[in-house]
Chains A and B, each alone.
Chain A
Amino acid sequence: MDEPFARIACVVNGRAVQASVPVRQSLVDWLREGLGLTGSHVGCAHGACGACHAVVGGVVVRGCLMLAVQADSETVETIEHATHNPIGHALQDAFFERAALQCGFCTPGMILQAAELLAEQPEPSREVIREALSGNLCRCTGYQAIVDAVELAAARLRA
């Protein structure tokens, strides 16, 4: 079989994009290689680690478990856009201040998932934060500083 391609048209980080993508290419691979949006990372490629998160149609998705072709007619936002959103921006500042990242590989996925949590629950307990981020794996920090950062960002957003 030759590599089948499909044409897609979507909005990525506020800009209209048109592309021809291999149908088997994952969303995260297309974002990285097709659009140069390398903030989303490929950790496990099977949905376990959360490093690949993107926001499609307003919800966080595993970028490794969607096909690029499925982004057709959708609105996609990546971590590169997070700073334009007050919640994303607050989280970025808080992650920095609380040293909630070391290598940074898990960080974009963490921030996008935490942002979805804070949008729905502005005052989450540490237990709720941990549960919400249970699908995001970090090999460096031991998670404590990440929970601290989400708590700090939530407090600032409420102030």
Chain B
Amino acid sequence: MKAPLFDYARPETLAAALSLLAVHGDAAAVLAGGQSLMPMLNLRMAQPGILLDINRIAGLDEIGVTGEHLVIGACARHRDVLRSPLVVTHAPLLAEALAYVAHAAIRNRGTIGGSLALADPAAELPACAVCLGAKIVTASIGGERTHAADHFFRGLYETACRPDEMILRILVPLRPSHRFVFGEVARRHGDYAIAGLAMGMGDGECRVAFCGVEPAPRRLPAIEATLLCGDEPDLSELRPMSSEDAPGSFRVHLAGVLLRRAVEALRGG
């Protein structure tokens, strides 16, 4: 199908974008990569009054290391994050997970900010953000807010980002003594994950976050504690989603499979 009518603006600066968001609020949809927004428009699942194309705003796509964080701008394309030597060095979990994200043509345009803002339950990057203990910075004309990833993803397609805000950047703490691994089960390569796992171990801690299992990614302390002891993971704390093709029990089963593979991968060296 074809997209419905909408107004279109292409702010040249962040200040201009934030002013437009202040004016239009939830009637506005931010257009970055468009790899999730455009399907919604073409299928008429969304009808925003105005699209704010932020692709020409300078400086929103930078990847760098400052202090104790790897900083990735919201408009950094999946393709660039995947290939970035800084990401491969300081947050290889992201590079590993991005190989599972959609397909090459979609990664060429899709952005990390877009993935985090949409908070699709099957999305890889929100789970990685939680596993990494990242911080997500949002901005409005009133200023910036910093959110711990744990508290950013609130539910199905629901984040702490307000209608007058947009995501600016993600800060990933450097954890050189941790090892991270990502795994996913999907029907075909590039399909939405039925279940995916981001896991890290190091400094005497275990960090676990799933995608596709629950409506939003979160840390799972009971699973983490059992894994640290070398026990079978305690999956009872999972509150899985259920669909006809993937009932909750199946997602929990896959969670167990992914945990087993991850533990082996981290042991295997």
Assess whether A9 is interfacial by the CB under 8 Å rule.
no
A59, chain B: closest CB distance, angstroms? 4
Name the interface residues of B99-132: CB closer than 8 Å to any CB of A. Answer: 102-106, 108-109
Q: When chains A and B are docked, how far (Å) is the Cα of A76 from the Cα of B118? A: 28
- Which of B31-39, B227-235, B241-249 contacts the other chain? B31-39
A88, chain B: closest CB distance, angstroms? 16
Name the interface residues of A16-73: CB closer than 8 Å to any CB of B. Answer: 23-24, 26, 29, 45-47, 50, 53, 59-62, 64-67, 69-70
A50, chain B: closest CB distance, angstroms? 7
B6 contacts which chain A residues (CB < 8 A)?
4, 23-24
Contact A62 B188 (CB under 8 A): no
Given that A46-B43, A50-B103, A116-B104 are known contacts, is A69 also in contact with B8, CB under 8 Å in the complex?
Answer: yes
Assess whether B159 is interfacial by the CB under 8 Å rule.
no
Name the interface residues of B17-71: CB closer than 8 Å to any CB of A. Answer: 31, 34-35, 38-39, 41-43, 51, 53, 55
Which of B8, B34, B53, B188 makes the CB contact (< 8 A) with A65? B34
Contact B38 A60 (CB under 8 A): no
Assess whether A113 is interfacial by the CB under 8 Å rule.
yes
Once A and B bind, how many residue pairs between them come within 8 Å at the CB atom? 94
B109 contacts which chain A residues (CB < 8 A)?
59, 61-62, 65-66
Write out, one digit per residue, whether chain A residues 97-134 have a CB within 8 A of any chain B CB (1) or not (0).
Answer: 00000000000000001001100000000000011101
Q: When chains A and B are docked, how far (Å) is the Cα of A50 from the Cα of B107? A: 13
Q: When chains A and B are docked, how far (Å) is the Cα of A134 from the Cα of B109? A: 17
Chain A's closest residue to B77 (CB) is: A59
Contact A64 B102 (CB under 8 A): no
Contact A70 B53 (CB under 8 A): yes
Contact A46 B108 (CB under 8 A): no
Assess whether A1 is interfacial by the CB under 8 Å rule.
yes
Contact A134 B3 (CB under 8 A): no
Contact A3 B79 (CB under 8 A): no
Contact A4 B105 (CB under 8 A): no
Given that A24-B2, A131-B189, A135-B190 are known contacts, is A64 also in contact with B38, CB under 8 Å in the complex?
Answer: yes
Which of A24, A47, A66, A130 makes the CB contact (< 8 A) with B5? A24
Contact A23 B103 (CB under 8 A): no
Contact A26 B3 (CB under 8 A): yes
Q: When chains A and B are docked, how far (Å) is the Cα of A85 from the Cα of B3? A: 33
A5, chain B: closest CB distance, angstroms? 10
Chain A's closest residue to B43 (CB) is: A46
Q: When chains A and B are docked, how far (Å) is the Cα of A65 from the Cα of B1? A: 12
Contact A59 B108 (CB under 8 A): yes
Contact A134 B103 (CB under 8 A): yes
Chain A's closest residue to B55 (CB) is: A70
Assess whether B264 is interfacial by the CB under 8 Å rule.
no
A6 contacts which chain B residues (CB < 8 A)?
8
Q: When chains A and B are docked, how far (Å) is the Cα of A143 from the Cα of B3? A: 31
Q: When chains A and B are docked, how far (Å) is the Cα of A135 from the Cα of B78? A: 15
Binding site for B on A (CB under 8 A): 1, 3-4, 6, 23-24, 26, 29, 45-47, 50, 53, 59-62, 64-67, 69-70, 113, 116-117, 130-132, 134-136
Instruction: List 9 additional contacts besides A65-B38, A136-B103; criterion CB under 8 Å.
Output: A4-B5, A4-B6, A24-B5, A50-B103, A50-B105, A67-B53, A131-B189, A135-B104, A135-B106
Q: List 21 A-B contacts (CB under 8 A).
A: A23-B7, A24-B3, A26-B3, A26-B42, A45-B1, A45-B42, A45-B43, A46-B38, A50-B103, A60-B105, A61-B105, A61-B109, A62-B35, A64-B42, A69-B53, A113-B105, A130-B189, A134-B103, A134-B188, A134-B189, A135-B103
